[in-house]
Structure 1
Amino acid sequence: MKIKATALLITSLLVLAGCDQAEQSAQQLMGKAAESAKQAIDDTHKAAEQALNDATSGLISKKESPEKESEKTESSSQEI
């Protein structure tokens, strides 16, 4: 009877130790997954900022062209 009780206690301890190890492994995997997700979000954010910058700089240069033309027109009329 003592042998069975001892075997049961040892088995229980092994199971608990296995659960702790599994929990630690799961935490490590979750940490790596979170880091990968954060990196993906950062990369997406940078790409979106670059696309927005490219799009707005294109609009700004288009807006500058008519202003420059109106400045040229004004300067021409001042010369006359």
Structure 2
Amino acid sequence: MGGMVRTPLTPEERERGERLGRLLREARGPRSMAEVAAEAGVSAETLRKIETGRAPTPAFFTVAALGAALGLSMDELAARCAPVGV
């Protein structure tokens, strides 16, 4: 990997990423990562990174597509993953 310089994540971003990952894992339940990723039109690798908190600031489109595949509304996702104290 080269080319893109990543700015370090703030603790808030990291925590939000972990919450999002947990929420998606719970919602996915027994379904395979590959199945959910395919339905959402994202790569399984992308889903894995988000679920493990390694992609804490995924694109809005990606989150929306995963939410739709998992039956989660954007309201639900936003409420569960919003920064604390806002």
TM-score for both structures, normalised by structure 2 = 0.25
TM-score for both structures, normalised by structure 1 = 0.27
Structure number, greater radius of gyration: 1
Report which structure shows greater RCO (CA 8 Å, sep ≥6).
Answer: 2
Considering fraction of residues, name the structure with more helix: 1
